[in-house]
Chain A
């Protein structure tokens, strides 16, 4: 059991900055995120794209913003639990007990949900029968590539994941790469490489095709693909891989008794607490009259939610408002006191 003051759900910019605000007022926190790294949408959707509306930062990329926020919270030694999705929530006396998908357990005084538009999950094939093979012969991510040795793999998608895996697996497997159009969104060098491998017969590229159906009993035997013009092909396949990026899903949060409105959690604007005592929501996931889905708004919400957590974490103490410029306590916590 991890015992701390506050659990932050979501390691996007809003979650990271609320960790800073908790640290400044002397509260401990830990952060859970479903992705394998911090940064949330900034890292997953637009790591290289510039952002122009962070106050006092004329221009930065999603990756730079994330790295700067991580740097800013370094003094607080915040513990991250990545690749973990929060699943269960239980009130035990005045504390919250939380359990994640990886069976991590937390005992906390308050929770800040900074979950963006939900946790990122792989986008799946629209073809219904795919579900039956998922996890056995159809995958949306690769954990152990050795299972593909000397097998026939059909890979769907046109982004970097699809291209990179097609190139890599073509060394040890027979690879079909299927994409819905001639153009690719992945790196140009990878596109060229795939085309070379196709010309050399080391990989079979099918463009303007999409999946029509998967055929097999317990394991996939073949996959049927259909061209834009209507012609179909049947490709013998031991495994099927789909790389269509990630989608955001609200997931288990829906079952926590929070007031949910259009995939967002209703909060008050005094301290961004939800209808459930001790559970706060900030950033894109919260809604209130006038809500703007901007990173800067998330920072403000995080500052207030952090202070809202104080009465749950330190019920016998009173929080005094202080500036980091002049507060000895804050400077000690930041490790900058001379």
Chain B
């Protein structure tokens, strides 16, 4: 279990306990946190679960596969701290992770 904080575009903060094994994307979708579309359902095929990861977490997360970086080319306003939340699998190590959901996904 990990506490994940999602900052949404309506300036709200949502801190949720997400079960290990789920993805950061699923944590948001299952808890009705707005702003993550996840059109492809978590297959790294659409870039609509794009989030910005709080800078100090960047190095602690597993590195991106090539496919993730390719998809981020398609994301709305990608930045250096961009990740696809479907590729971030929750574990105890992610406890305290903070992500910001972009203004929109497309």
Contact = CB atoms under 8 A, between A and B. Distances in A.
Interface stretch (A103-111, A139-147, A244-252): A244-252
Contact of A126 (B41, B45, B73, B77): B77
B11 interface: no
A160 B48 CA distance: 20
Given A123-B106, A185-B70, A117 B78 contact: no
Given A123-B106, A126-B76, A248 B46 contact: yes
Interface size of B as a range: 10 to 19
Contacts, number: 50
B61 interface: no
A123 B69 contact: no
A151 interface: no
Interface string B20-57: 00000000000000000101110001111000000000
Interface string A180-196: 11010100000000000
Nearest to A156: B73
26 contacts: A41-B45, A45-B40, A45-B45, A45-B46, A46-B45, A123-B74, A123-B106, A126-B76, A126-B77, A158-B73, A159-B70, A159-B74, A180-B78, A181-B73, A183-B66, A185-B70, A185-B73, A244-B73, A245-B47, A245-B73, A245-B74, A247-B106, A248-B39, A248-B46, A263-B37, A284-B41
Interface of B: 37, 39-41, 45-48, 66, 69-70, 73-74, 76-78, 80, 105-106
